[in-house]
Amino acid sequence: METEGMSSHAALAALELTGIFVFAVSGALTAIQKGFDAVGIVVLAEVTALGGGVVRDLVIGETPPGAFRQVWYLLVPLAAAGVAFFLHPVVERLNFGVLLFDAAGLGLFCVTGTLKALDHGLGAVQAAVLGVTTAVGGGLLRDIIARQTPALVRPETDLYSIPAMVGAALVAAAYKMHLPMTVAAPAAAVFVFAFRVVAMVRHWRAPQAWVRRPRAAR
């Protein structure tokens, strides 16, 4: 049983570091699009990768947050910024590249955020909410620093938080059903990524407030 717990924690750590890397790449690519210098690229990579996780850790009372206790949490975004700095010209469609990495980070972070909240004793609903916060927090801060309306609230944005909500709910349900997280967690992350990509390709959007149309005069 102890071995299974250690394996689960190792899988969670691997997922989180992967999410940090891909979110950092999305932040760095956004900075490059905006014409930021090397310092700005690193800052945006770090904030995008770690912002949601810091908020999560503060909410569950884990202080100092993991980003300030594990050096890898700071070094991985730095490496991602370096990769983006030198290799961004190979990305033929930069806009879609940013969104693709953002979708991967969304899937990974909603899963790790939900699992960490569950491990700290939160209920399924509360953990799912915190998982979504983990997933969208970094992207929200990225857009604010980049001086653009956050994708989370833009009406023309293809489904963004809804895939994370579904993924977080699936993880919470699997956890409560005692399904093996080494299988369920990566599967949920892949599902969220695929959901988000399909939403981008097909331009699925959340409904806006209903407006009653006036009746035509007879």
Cis peptide before 186 (omega within 30 of 0): no
pLDDT digits (tens, 9 = 90+) for 76-96: 999 999 988 888 776 545 567
Measure Cα distances from 161 to 81, 103, 114, 184 in Å.
25, 10, 14, 20
Angle of helix 94-119 relative to helix 124-145, nearest 10 degrees, comes to: 150
Task: Indicate whether 6 pLDDT > 90.
Answer: no
pLDDT digits (tens, 9 = 90+) for 161-196: 899 999 999 999 999 999 988 889 889 999 999 999
* Its pTM surpasses 0.85: no
